Amino acid sequence: MYPTNGHELGNEVPLGQGKVHYPAFIKKLKEIGYQGDITIEREMTGPDQKRDILSAREILEDVGQLSGNASVGRNPCYLHPKHNCHYIAVAEWKQQSVETRLVDINDGYELDKTKMHADSTECYASLTILCYEQLIKALTKETRISGVCIILPGLIDQKRQSLISTPLQIDWEVGGRLIEQLKSGFLYENLCILNDTACLSYAEIKSKGLKNTDFAYINFATGIGAALYMQERILGGATGSNTQFGHCCIDPDGLDCYCGAKGCLEAMIGESALPLRWGKEILDSAGNETGNSLNYSLLCKLAESGNENAVSALQNVADGFSLAAVDLITLVHPQRIIIGGKGIELGNLFLRRVKNNLKHMGLRYMVENVTVSFSTLSSDAAYYGAALYYFDTYYDFTAENSNGFYLG
């Protein structure tokens, strides 16, 4: 805070971001012989307070290192705000690869990244350890890793201490073994495994200021997943186990789903359903001789260019999504539905159709005020989302040497 006039203080901001020039301020304190403590206080609660204080404490710790004085811990003489200090190593498990990035907890800046090919489902844990060892070479004396996160396109079961991922073909048995390997591979780091859709939704919360907005984030990936953010928390945390939106039934007589049921949302309108349902008809009518298979992006492009078969298929996809969305709205009543991942590639024709459908579907009281939109964040937002979720939920800056293991 900084006085705005002779009587009032201005807005409170994190240490180092306001008008006070701390290096000069501390220098002056030292000159006049101040020997006491410096107390960092923030008139707020929650994760933001933690980050601000951590950031401020970094400033003070640097003072100690720079002064060369044995009593520096209590008598800082020089304040130097540091941005590139606390990093989280975030690994994303993808189909046939592990991609890892060093993410600055202050601003999401990525110091370094690495990617390794996964030959089998059994090697995800060992590859993550290898990627991590590669990444820490990018650290300097001033930087440190405050934790490791793994982004999983699947479910995490805290009770069974296991995980499952259909896109990666990891079953419970393999999942349990991977967790054991990770536990023994990261003995001296905090490690956290998080569901991919939850990470993306957390990035929305933090980047778009949605802390007080109930919303459903729908992630179109290999499957179709959802994270439900209600009353300031993601239901089920970041385990991905509280909703299986992709397996809502939209047609009891529909196509078989790998889950054993019929007509699940992702079996009917998931990207991999497109070639099966409309591929030949649409590509033939578009004179496609390139051998490309039908995906969301191509469907959108052809529909926008006026191909009638593509328009009809795109409407069918929008209608199927609308059925599941209305069920979701009547069950949990979010204020917003945010469509992310590959769903964005379905484009504005799709979005307009969904919005129009919702004008005459479901209980008016529940549906009429819900807004539906595409996410404006990139798919890379999952990395920063994961780092922030871990930091806000699990990181304890009073016990930095702990080796916690967190699922979801």
**Separation between Cα atoms, residue 4 and residue 25, nearest integer Å:** 18
Torsion of CA 142, 147, 151, 156, to 10 degrees: 180
Work out how close the CB of 244 gets to Zn ion at its nearest, in angstroms, rounded to a whole number. Answer: 8
- Contacts (CB under 5 A) with Zn ion, residues 320-359: none
Q: Which is nearer to Zn ion, 101 or 247 (CB)?
A: 247
Q: Which is nearer to Zn ion, 66 or 259 (CB)?
A: 259
**Separation between Cα atoms, residue 358 and residue 368, nearest integer Å:** 8
Q: Is 257 in the site for Zn ion (CB under 5 A)?
A: yes
**Separation between Cα atoms, residue 44 and residue 13, nearest integer Å:** 10
Q: Which is nearer to Zn ion, 194 or 257 (CB)?
A: 257
Closest by CA to 78, choosing from 69, 89, 91, 88, is 69
- Tell me, rounded to whole angstroms, the distance of Cα 44 from its chain centroid: 24
Three-state DSSP class for residue 27:
helix
**Separation between Cα atoms, residue 109 and residue 143, nearest integer Å:** 13
Work out how close the CB of 221 gets to Zn ion at its nearest, in angstroms, rounded to a whole number. Answer: 15
Segment near Zn ion (CB under 5 A); pick from 129-137, 258-266, 329-337, 369-377: 258-266
Q: Which is nearer to Zn ion, 126 or 244 (CB)?
A: 244
Segment near Zn ion (CB under 5 A); pick from 60-68, 231-239, 254-262, 286-294: 254-262
Q: What is each CA distance from 48 to 2, 43, 60, 84, 347, in whole angstroms?
A: 20, 11, 19, 18, 35
- Contacts (CB under 5 A) with Zn ion, residues 160-219: none
Site mask, Zn ion, residues 261-280, x = CB under 5 A? x--x----------------
Work out how close the CB of 273 gets to Zn ion at its nearest, in angstroms, rounded to a whole number. Answer: 11
Q: What type of residue sits at position 202?
A: Y
Site mask, Zn ion, residues 378-407, x = CB under 5 A? ------------------------------
Work out how close the CB of 176 gets to Zn ion at its nearest, in angstroms, rounded to a whole number. Answer: 23
Closest by CA to 67, choosing from 57, 55, 79, is 79
Burial-class residue 87 by CB neighbours within 10 Å (0-12, 13-18, 19+): buried
Q: Which is nearer to Zn ion, 263 or 279 (CB)?
A: 263
Q: What is each CA distance from 367 to 229, 245, 268, 340, 353, in whole angstroms?
A: 17, 18, 23, 20, 15
Q: Which is nearer to Zn ion, 130 or 261 (CB)?
A: 261
Pair 236, 276: CB distance under 8 Å: no
Three-state DSSP class for residue 101:
strand
Work out how close the CB of 226 gets to Zn ion at its nearest, in angstroms, rounded to a whole number. Answer: 14
**What number of chain residues touch Zn ion (CB under 5 A)?**
5
Q: State the first-to-last Cα distance of the chain, in angstroms, to the nearest integer.
A: 37
Pair 374, 347: CB distance under 8 Å: no
Site mask, Zn ion, residues 22-61, x = CB under 5 A? ----------------------------------------
Work out how close the CB of 352 gets to Zn ion at its nearest, in angstroms, rounded to a whole number. Answer: 28
Q: Which is nearer to Zn ion, 147 or 270 (CB)?
A: 270
Q: Which is nearer to Zn ion, 98 or 264 (CB)?
A: 264
Q: Which is nearer to Zn ion, 149 or 324 (CB)?
A: 324
Task: Report which DSSP code applies to 185.
Answer: H
Segment near Zn ion (CB under 5 A); pick from 94-102, 193-201, 245-253, 382-390: 245-253
Task: Please give the residue ranges that form the binding site for Zn ion (CB under 5 A).
Answer: 247, 257, 259, 261, 264
